[in-house]
Amino acid sequence: MNKPLPNDALTDNLRKVTSYLQRFKAATVPHIIAGERVAGADTFEDFDPTDNSVICKVASGTAAEIDRAARAAAAAFPAWAGLPGDKRQALLHKVADRIEARAEEIALVESFDSGQPIRYMAKAALRGAENFRFYADKAPSASDGMSLPTDTHLNYTLRQPIGPVGVITPWNTPFMLSTWKIAPALAAGCTIVHKPAEWSPLSAVILSEIMTEVFEEAGLPKGVVNLVHGFGESAGKALTEHPAIKAIAFVGESVTGSHIMAQGAPTLKRVHFELGGKNPVIVFDDADRERALDAVLFMIYSLNGQRCTSSSRALVQRSIYDGFVADLKARVAKIRVGHPLDPATEIGPLIHPRHVEKVLSYAQHAKADGAEVAVGGVRAMDGKGNYVCPTLFTGAATTMRIAQEEIFGPVLTVIPFDDEADALKIANDVRYGLAAYIWTGNIGRAHRVAQSVEAGMVWVNSENVRHLPTPFGGVKASGIGRDGGEYAFEIYMEQKNIAIGLDKHRPPKIGV
Q: Which of residues 444-503 bind ligand NAD (CB under 6 A)?
A: 474, 479
Question: From CA 484, how far away is CA 454, in angstroms rounded?
Answer: 20
Strand order in the sheet with 192-195: 36-38, 31-33, 225-227, 192-195, 165-168, 247-251, 270-274, 479-480
Q: What character string, x for contact with ligand NAD (CB under 6 A) and - otherwise, covers 141-180?
A: ---------------------------xxxxx----x---
CB atoms within 10 A of CB 320: 18
Which helix H or strand E contains 436, and what residues bound it? strand 435-439
Judged by CB, which is closer to ligand NAD: 65, or 274?
A: 274
Judged by CB, which is closer to ligand NAD: 85, or 166?
A: 166
Question: From CA 334, how far away is CA 198, in angstroms rounded?
Answer: 33
SS3 29: strand
Rule CB under 6 A: is residue 208 a binding residue for ligand NAD? no
Residue with CB nearest ligand NAD? Answer: 232
- Check if 190 is active-site: no
Q: Is 491 buried (19+), middle (13-18) or exposed (0-12) by CB count in 10 A?
A: buried
Q: Which of residues 376-435 bind ligand NAD (CB under 6 A)?
A: 406, 408, 434
The window from 101-109, 115-123, 145-153, 227-235 that contacts ligand NAD (CB under 6 A) reads 227-235
Rule CB under 6 A: is residue 200 a binding residue for ligand NAD? no
The window from 154-162, 231-239, 314-322, 335-343 that contacts ligand NAD (CB under 6 A) reads 231-239
Among residues 308, 346, 405, 454, the one annotated as catalytic is: 308
For the bound state, the minimum distance from the C-beta of residue 355 to ligand NAD, rounded and expressed in Å, comes to 8
Rule CB under 6 A: is residue 205 a binding residue for ligand NAD? no
Question: From CA 271, how far away is CA 275, in angstroms rounded?
Answer: 12
Question: From CA 68, how far away is CA 179, in angstroms rounded?
Answer: 23
- Check if 274 is active-site: yes
Rule CB under 6 A: is residue 274 a binding residue for ligand NAD? yes
The window from 14-22, 194-202, 291-299, 314-322 that contacts ligand NAD (CB under 6 A) reads 194-202
| 395 Cβ contact list (under 8 Å, min separation 6) | 370, 371, 372, 414, 416
Length of the chain, please?
A: 512
Of 215, 259, 209, nearest in space to 239 by CA: 259
Interface positions with ligand NAD (CB under 6 A): 168-172, 177, 195, 197-198, 231-233, 236-237, 240, 251-253, 256, 259-260, 263, 274-277, 308, 406, 408, 434, 474, 479
User: Which residues are known catalytic residues?
Assistant: 274, 308
